[in-house]
Amino acid sequence: MAAAFDPTDAGFLRDPYPTYARLRRDAPIVWHPAWSAWIVTRHRDVSALLRDRRLGRGPDPRQPARPAATAFDAIQAGSLLEIEPPDHTRVKQAVHDVFTPRHVRALRGRIEALVDGLLRGLAARPEGSFDLLRDFAEPIPVAVIADLLGVPEADRHRLLPWSKAIIGRFEPERTAAMEEAAEAAAAEFADYVRALVAVKRRRPADDLLSRMAAVRDADPDRLTESEIVANAILFLNAGHEAVVNVAGNGMRALLEHPEQARVLRDDPSAWPTAIEEMMRFDTPLQFFERTVREDLEYGGHRWPVGTKLCLYYASANRDPEVFPDPDRFDVRRDPNPHLAFGLGLHYCIGAPLARLELGIALPALLRRFPDLRPGDAPLRYQPRHVFRYLTAFPVRHGTPAGLDWSP
């Protein structure tokens, strides 16, 4: 059965969903020897195991803590994505205190102005074409997260290359070159954040780094310096990847299903459910790895401490036990209990911000370009597995006329 799952196969990388369907049907929990991990593909299993506190992301609790061996290890060690209670509880509370719903809501005007400026620039191009990812989706979350953190305009061009290099380290099939690039980016990014925090201490502002530094200085037991660095990097990486890749994968689905586009044209109030469906239908973060921290019996399996599980969000989000007609893209799908942002302790802290950005940007895009359509070049996904996203997304507008998106 292990041969039915080959995440390096070119056909699988183009379209993994038939493989997920076979696994859900024939072997919903299956051992993958190449990764020394169990592959879990059904919604009920993924959701149950995400909630199970016997699983975690931290080090093996039987082993003494060891100092980080590399720059990448160091930035992971304090990240909310990687730590478990009680450290996770402590850090998450400190972050919540400085990254509140009020701060997210206050960003609406900034996001609307940013989106409007981008769309004006794209509309002024005489060629009537642009890359939806590079020219529209990418600048939005980078600018928003940079504003939140307090990164100066002059430095923002450095953030995206660092983020892209760092996420390559999470790929199980990564190359030595990908590991070297991730280590170099982690070291440079961490050095930059440390230097910027020092500036914020001298000249505090109304931004996330200033507020985290203030929390640290008022009570060093609440937040360490390394946790400030690790979570600043996490906010950029997670915030960027979620928004850009939902926009790319989701807009591809929408433009390839014109009957669904007509639903949104006729009823713009359906946009919130449409964005949730974009997250479900082609989930950018395909799986999340967890490690057994207490001996565990589940579904007829016995897993000792240290066992690795790969919980497949993307497969769970196409599970017919939960989603009727799961391979159909349906912008009115409701309920839609997708797992694109995870579940339980490690539910994505930036989910409200991602929803806000997508809910502003995508309707505005199609109001500005009512006849938007894919360009002539075939769309290809990056040959990676943990993060599923397009290499580019050329689009066109103008004649011939397409859908009318005006209210």
Between 206 and 137, name the one with better pLDDT: 137
Between 183 and 104, name the one with better pLDDT: 183
Closest listed residue to residue 234, CA positions, set 128, 389, 75: 75
Between 4 and 280, name the one with better pLDDT: 280
Return the pLDDT at 203. 95
pLDDT for 403 beyond 60: no
On whether the CB atoms of residues 350 and 208 are closer than 8 A, the answer is no
pLDDT for 25 beyond 80: yes
pLDDT for 288 beyond 80: yes
The predicted-structure confidence for 47-94, as pLDDT tens digits, reads as follows: 999 999 999 875 555 665 555 568 788 887 888 888 888 888 898 888
As a whole number of angstroms, the distance between CA 320 and CA 317 comes to 9
Return the pLDDT at 2. 45
Q: Report the range of poorest mean pLDDT among 7-16, 54-63, 105-114, 236-245.
A: 54-63
Q: Report the range of poorest mean pLDDT among 16-30, 88-102, 124-138, 327-341.
A: 88-102
Closest listed residue to residue 265, CA positions, set 154, 57, 405, 392: 405
As a whole number of angstroms, the distance between CA 203 and CA 32 comes to 51
For residue 402, what pLDDT band results from cuts at 50, 70 and 90?
Answer: very low
Q: Which residues contact 21 (CB under 8 A, 6 or more apart)?
A: 318
Question: The pTM is what?
Answer: 0.91
Q: Report the range of poorest mean pLDDT among 94-108, 156-170, 372-386.
A: 94-108
pLDDT for 124 beyond 70: yes
**What is the average pLDDT across 193-210?**
93
pLDDT for 346 beyond 90: no
Average pLDDT of the chain to the nearest whole number: 90
On whether the CB atoms of residues 46 and 40 are closer than 8 A, the answer is yes
What is the percent of the chain with per-residue pLDDT over 70, rounded to a whole number?
Answer: 93
**What is the average pLDDT across 307-330?**
97
Q: Is 308 helix (H, G, I), strand (E, B) or coil?
A: strand
